[in-house]
C-alpha cells in the first residue's frame, strides 16, 4: 500500500482530516526551531587532572605528518609547563604522545 493521500497513513506528528488527508499537529507547528550553529573549523579543549593534561583537537585539515608534529610540539609544551601529557585525541582518534 502506498503512503499517499487517502491511504490511511500519515507522517509522524500529523492528524488525519475528516476527508482523509493529513495536516501537521498544532503542537509541532508551535515547537521551537533548533538554532543553526556555525562550528569553528578548529576546536581545542583541555582538561588537567592530577598533573596530566588530556587534550582534544578537532581539525579536519591535519594530515598525518601534521598530526605527528602537533603531538610532539604539544608534548614538549606541556613538559615545559611542568605537566605530564595525558591523552591526545585528534578528530576523535587517540594519538600517543
Contact 35, 51 (CB under 8 A): no
Tens of pLDDT, residues 24-81: 666 667 778 878 888 788 999 999 999 999 999 999 898 989 999 999 999 999 999 9
| pTM flag (> 0.85) | no
Question: How far is Cα 88 from Cα 43, in angstroms, rounded to an integer?
Answer: 13
The alpha carbon of residue 95 and the mean position of all alpha carbons in its chain are separated, in whole angstroms, by 19
Is residue 95 within 8 A of residue 71, CB to CB? The reply is yes
Segments making up each domain of the chain, as ranges? 1-32, 43-95
Band (pLDDT 50/70/90 cuts) for residue 90 is: very high
Alpha carbon 82 to its chain centroid, in Å, reads 32
Is pLDDT at 13 greater than 50 in this prediction?
yes
- pLDDT for res 1: 46
H or E element: which one contains 64? helix 64-80
Amino acid at each position: 500500500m502506498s503512503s499517499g493521500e487517502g491511504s490511511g497513513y500519515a507522517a509522524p506528528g500529523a492528524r488525519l482530516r475528516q476527508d482523509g488527508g493529513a495536516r501537521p499537529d498544532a503542537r509541532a507547528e508551535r515547537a521551537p526551531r533548533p538554532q543553526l550553529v556555525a562550528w569553528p573549523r578548529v576546536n581545542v579543549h583541555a582538561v588537567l587532572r592530577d598533573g596530566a593534561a588530556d587534550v582534544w583537537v578537532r581539525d579536519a585539515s591535519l594530515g598525518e605528518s601534521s598530526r605527528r608534529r602537533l603531538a610532539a610540539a604539544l608534548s614538549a609544551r606541556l613538559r615545559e609547563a611542568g605537566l605530564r601529557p595525558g591523552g591526545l585525541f585528534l578528530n576523535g582518534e587517540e594519538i600517543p604522545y
